Amino acid sequence: MINLSNIYLYNVKGPLAGLLNLLLATQLLQMLKTDALFANVTAVGLVSSHPAACTALAKYSRMFCVSITPPLWLNESQDVKIESIDLTYCRENAKQIIEASPVDYVRGMKLCGSLFEAGCTSGAISTVFTGFYVDHTEPLAALQVFKDAGKWPLGELIEGHEFLVILPVG
């Protein structure tokens, strides 16, 4: 799994900061598509508290190439919408993928949210309990923008949790 939640464009402030982080994360993921290590990859996933990272992964999994000319935010017809991702693959494969991870702390993560737990009332849909209690001020502000637009499929971000996205590629 790739965690892009700590990739930021430093010295960028204001309303465009989140968009620029999304573009950077998406560009980094696009570079991975051409790497020989990813030639036989059938799924990609990440655990992140940041909606920009989740959105970038959705774009990557759909083989979307980010174009900065014209700017992504002006070209709605090419944009891959995070709210349109199908979480069926994640629900059906998350447990096996997480258990097979070479990263110890990933293998120990507990799947949480209504996608994995019947009767879940937290508002989370696809998250994992990481036990990382960090400042989510910036990711929660970005999340609110998605939620206000009615465009967030992963539910609430609960303390100590991060969003889980696992999508098929190819």
Give the per-residue pLDDT at 37.
74
Asked whether 149 and 124 are in contact (CB, 8 A), the reply is no
- Model-level pTM? 0.73
Report residues of the chain scoring pLDDT below 50.
Answer: 1-11, 63-79
Alpha-carbon dihedral angle through residues 87, 91, 93, 98, given to the nearest 10 degrees? 110
pLDDT at 76: 41
**What interhelical angle do 51-61 and 17-32 show, nearest 10?**
40
Residues 6+ apart with CB under 8 A from 33: 60, 63
Task: Give yes or no for a contact between 91 and 166, defined as CB atoms under 8 angstroms apart.
Answer: no
Alpha-carbon span 22 to 46, nearest angstrom: 14
- Residue ranges covered by each domain of the chain: 17-168
Q: How many CB atoms lie within 10 A of CB 116?
A: 19
Q: Tens of pLDDT along 73-118?
A: 333 444 456 777 889 999 999 999 999 989 898 998 999 999 999 9
Cα–Cα distance, 93 to 89 (Å, whole number): 6
Query: In which residue are the tokens 């993560």 written?
Result: 109
Cα 44 from Cα 24, distance rounded (Å)? 18
In this prediction, residue 118 carries a pLDDT of 94
